[in-house]
Amino acid sequence: MNGAGNKITVLDLTDSDHIVSEDEARAIAVEPQTTFDQLMVLHAPRTEGTVALIRIYNTDGSLAEACGNGTRCVAWHLDETQGSQDTRLVETARGLLTITKPGNPLTYTVDMGTPRFAWDEIPLSEPFQDTRFIELHVGPAGDPILSSPAVVNMGNPHAVFWVDDTASIGLDKIGPMLEHHPLFPQRANISIVQVVDRQTLVMRTWERGAGLTLACGSAACAAAVSAARLRRAERHVTVHQPGGTLQIEWADNDHVLMTGPVEHERDVMLTDAIFTSVAA
Ligand SMILES: N[C@@H](CCC[C@H](N)C(=O)O)C(=O)O
């Protein structure tokens, strides 16, 4: 599937006890038919009221706590396999997430929970009082290419840099360096964001564990919240990414609501071969 262009593979293991290993996730990622930015593995629910437990893997096999675009894809899969429902509760490492349908076909809203801003919740490796802009720059100190990002945890760590033109930054070169910067002990998702007006953001993201992607839901939430904290935008914005557009609302109850599309691309029967090839 894809969520606004973010490549998502949904693997339904609700009838199995198997836990996908990092090696297995990487093996699924390199297969052209099942390649992904994130692999969303569904397990039987373990918490009352939820319909599934979701483990989220990046391309490099690492586990992610949150994936907004993938969560919408999971909702579509559950609608197809369990019957359509207006509201669903799923469990991720981020906690319990509510998914609803705003009414448009193939569109879902995920309550992504509340943002966290304290330096040790991001987490950062050293204290910063004000995480709306931290001391970090790329390029010469007097004339940096990027500087003073906002940092926020949306279940996963994000750094948001403000730019005039997202196309002018070599994110493919700068992204890996920042993802692994010592300031981010759990690495970070790195976004460059242009504030077009108070209701509109344009952005690109280098994702932790996955690299450049066409869209990242949690990064869109991070950008929207960061722009609102700095009073650069309203709390409800349209976020344009190379693969698609999301609506993000930072509601008065502090929860961040992400609304966007899903697209089903193909069904693939994953044979045991992929697991045995890793085990061999
Ligand atoms: N594409 C996702 C975010 C995926 C997780 C991220 N790479 C991480 O490791 O934190 C989204 O739509 O939120």
Structural domain for 190, as ranges = 137-254
C-alpha to C-alpha distances, 90 to 39, 44, 210, 212, 217, nearest whole angstrom: 16, 10, 23, 27, 17
Whether residue 85 sits in one domain with residue 104? yes
Closest listed residue to residue 6, CA positions, set 244, 169, 234: 244
What is the atom index within ligand 1 of the atom nearest the CA of 63?
9
The per-residue pLDDT for 149 is 98
Mutate to test the pocket of ligand 1, among 8, 208, 221 (most ligand atoms within 8 A of CB): 208
Instruction: Give CB contacts under 8 A, 24+ apart, made by 144-149.
Output: 145/169, 145/174, 146/174, 146/178, 146/192
Whether residue 267 sits in one domain with residue 246? no
Q: Is the pLDDT of residue 106 over 70?
A: yes
Whether residue 201 sits in one domain with residue 95? no
Cα 18 to middle of ligand 1, angstroms: 23
Contact yes or no for 222/187 (Cβ under 8 A): no
How many whole angstroms separate alpha carbon 24 and alpha carbon 15?
18
Cα 63 to middle of ligand 1, angstroms: 10
The residue whose CA is least distant from atom 1 of ligand 1 is 216
What average pLDDT score do residues 109-128 get?
98
Helices 217-229, 68-82: crossing angle, 10 deg rounding: 130
Q: Is the pLDDT of residue 238 over 90?
A: yes
Cα 81 to middle of ligand 1, angstroms: 24
How many whole angstroms separate alpha carbon 260 and alpha carbon 249?
12
Strands 146-147 and 137-138: antiparallel
Contact yes or no for 25/264 (Cβ under 8 A): no
Cα 172 to middle of ligand 1, angstroms: 17
The residue whose CA is least distant from atom 4 of ligand 1 is 67
Contact yes or no for 75/88 (Cβ under 8 A): yes
The per-residue pLDDT for 270 is 79
Residue 124 lies in a domain: no
Q: Give 145-193 pLDDT, tens digit per residue.
A: 999 999 999 999 999 999 999 999 999 999 999 999 999 999 999 999 9
Q: How many CB atoms lie within 10 A of CB 118?
A: 13
pLDDT bin (cut points 50, 70, 90) of residue 280 is low
Fill in the DSSP letter of residue 231.
T
Residue 119 lies in a domain: no
Q: Give 2-27 pLDDT, tens digit per residue.
A: 999 999 999 999 999 999 999 999 99
Q: What percent of the chain shows pLDDT beyond 70?
A: 97
Residue 12 lies in a domain: yes
The per-residue pLDDT for 271 is 72
List the CATH number of the domain containing 101: 3.10.310.10
How many whole angstroms separate alpha carbon 123 and alpha carbon 189?
12
Residue 196 lies in a domain: yes
How high does pLDDT run on average in the chain? 96
Whether residue 267 sits in one domain with residue 250? no
Residue 127 lies in a domain: no
* pTM exceeding 0.80: yes
Q: Is the pLDDT of residue 276 over 70?
A: no
Residue 57 lies in a domain: yes
Residues with Cβ within 8 Å of residue 193, at least 6 apart in sequence = 160, 161, 162, 163, 166, 201, 202, 203, 223, 226, 227
**3-state secondary structure (DSSP) of residue 36:** coil
What average pLDDT score do residues 235-255 get?
98
Q: Is the pLDDT of residue 28 over 60?
A: yes
Closest listed residue to residue 99, CA positions, set 71, 66, 70: 71
Q: Pull the structure tokens for residue 278.
A: 């890793």
What average pLDDT score do residues 53-67 get?
98
The per-residue pLDDT for 211 is 98
Cα 142 to middle of ligand 1, angstroms: 32
Whether residue 45 sits in one domain with residue 9? yes
Whether residue 275 sits in one domain with residue 223? no
Residue 132 lies in a domain: no
DSSP characters for 242-275? TTEEEEEEE-TTS-EEEEEE-B--------THHH
The per-residue pLDDT for 273 is 63
Return the active site residues.
67, 216
| Total number of domains constituting the chain | 2
Whether residue 79 sits in one domain with residue 167? no
Mutate to test the pocket of ligand 1, among 39, 41, 58 (most ligand atoms within 8 A of CB): 58
Residue 199 lies in a domain: yes
Residues with CB under 6 A from ligand 1: 6, 37-38, 58, 64, 66-70, 156, 189, 207-210, 216-218
